Amino acid sequence: MLNFLKKFEQTGPNSDEGKVIALMNQKGGVGKTTMAFNMAHALAKKNKKVLCIDMDPQFNFSSLFNFTPNENTPSIFNLLINSIKELRALHTGCLLSESIVGIDKNIHLLPAGQELSGFELSVAGISSPRQLILKRFIEKNNLKNMYDYIVIDGPPTLGLLVVNILCATDGVLFPFIPDAFSEQGLKNIQQVVEDIEDMGITKTPVNLGYIPNLFEARRRQSNEDFDSIKDRFSNAPVFEPFSNKANFAKSMASKKSVFHYESVQFQKLQEQFLNMADAVESRLN
Ligand SMILES: Nc1ncnc2c1ncn2[C@@H]1O[C@H](COP(=O)(O)OP(=O)(O)OP(=O)(O)O)[C@@H](O)[C@H]1O
Ligand SMILES: [Mg+2]
């Protein structure tokens, strides 16, 4: 495992300093994990070195990469707890190199496990800033020097995990379903971003844009909802909508990115993800 990591360090990232991006929405089932998985592959396709961090106790991101939690591989929870001096003595030690799972030439994964749901409680009593645990972990381990992009999949909640993700990221992408209910989830998470800005403890992440997903283009109501949402979220780009597509759902069920397929239907999806990767790159550089 160590040799494999060393190789990555030697080749080094292509750009000066890597960027951290996160896929966030308080609402569940809007496509955060799906978008994170395919964005990671789009960036890898562009020859970027990508570290995927699963920050959701449901560990769907890890599962999409075919990873099953096991006792030999410490999860991001173990790494974060171990990065806190006061807690280190209370837990079994672990190394970053034991946790990183090699997915392919350009993608590595730091997996999650169900124990991540206990994160908030585990760090409740520490004296260092609880909001900055993930940010400091990334800094201490020089991860931005090892990777071009760190892609984080967020949980459908608003607690300390989400605050840690937002404090650690350079930019956020917001997948959402363009319906009458989706606006509230987006507003709530943006409120957390504003709270972080008010706290002044770290740089506020850039809003990289909104990703309309599971769009039903043939329904008139969907088009009306989408138009009104687009008007209200004028503070960042709104990407081309992703339709609700059976073949897309099937590819996810088979744990394959859209880049795995060659048919025309997938070419369109591939284009959408590559365009998004280009947009993210130009907005963060
Ligand atoms: N455009 C799409 N077309 C068809 N199915 C999709 C599409 N986008 C996502 N899905 C499917 O919808 C389901 C929910 O997607 P996903 O797990 O990515 O959402 P999520 O926001 O990460 O959910 P959670 O909040 O639980 O983490 C998955 O089964 C996924 O395969
Ligand atoms: Mg998810």
In a domain, 197, yes or no: yes
In a domain, 10, yes or no: no
Q: Which residue has better confidence, 223 or 115?
A: 115
Q: What is the pLDDT of residue 122?
A: 95
Percent of the chain scoring above 70 in pLDDT: 95
Ligand 2 center from residue 238 Cα (angstroms):
20
The rounded distance, in Å, linking the Cα atoms of 110 and 138 is 12
Q: Which range, of 36-45, 70-79, 174-183, averages the lowest pLDDT?
A: 174-183
In a domain, 107, yes or no: yes
Pick the closest to residue 63 from 266, 274, 256 (CA basis).
256
Question: What's the CATH number where 19 sits?
Answer: 3.40.50.300
Encoded tokens for 276? 């998004």
- As a whole number, mean pLDDT of residues 217-244 equals 85
Q: What is the pLDDT of residue 9?
A: 58
Ligand 1 binding site (Cβ under 6 Å of any ligand atom): 28-34, 56, 58, 60, 156, 213-214, 242, 244-245, 248-249, 252
Instruction: Report the atom number in ligand 1 closest to the C-alpha of 215.
Output: 1
Encoded tokens for 256? 């394959």
Q: Is the pLDDT of residue 221 over 90?
A: no
Residue located nearest, by CA, to atom 2 of ligand 1: 244
Ligand 1 center from residue 34 Cα (angstroms):
6
- What is the domain extent for residue 223? 15-284
The rounded distance, in Å, linking the Cα atoms of 60 and 165 is 17
In a domain, 119, yes or no: yes
Question: For the whole model, what pTM was predicted?
Answer: 0.94
The rounded distance, in Å, linking the Cα atoms of 166 and 187 is 15
Ligand 2 center from residue 198 Cα (angstroms):
28
Q: What is the pLDDT of residue 93?
A: 83
Instruction: Report the atom number in ligand 1 closest to the C-alpha of 175.
Output: 21
In a domain, 168, yes or no: yes
In a domain, 6, yes or no: no
Encoded tokens for 171? 């930019």
In a domain, 56, yes or no: yes
The count of domains in the chain is 1
Residue located nearest, by CA, to atom 29 of ligand 1: 249
The rounded distance, in Å, linking the Cα atoms of 189 and 205 is 12
Instruction: Report the atom number in ligand 1 closest to the C-alpha of 253.
Output: 31
In a domain, 226, yes or no: yes
Ligand 2 center from residue 154 Cα (angstroms):
7
Q: Which range, of 2-11, 74-83, 121-130, 171-180, averages the lowest pLDDT?
A: 2-11
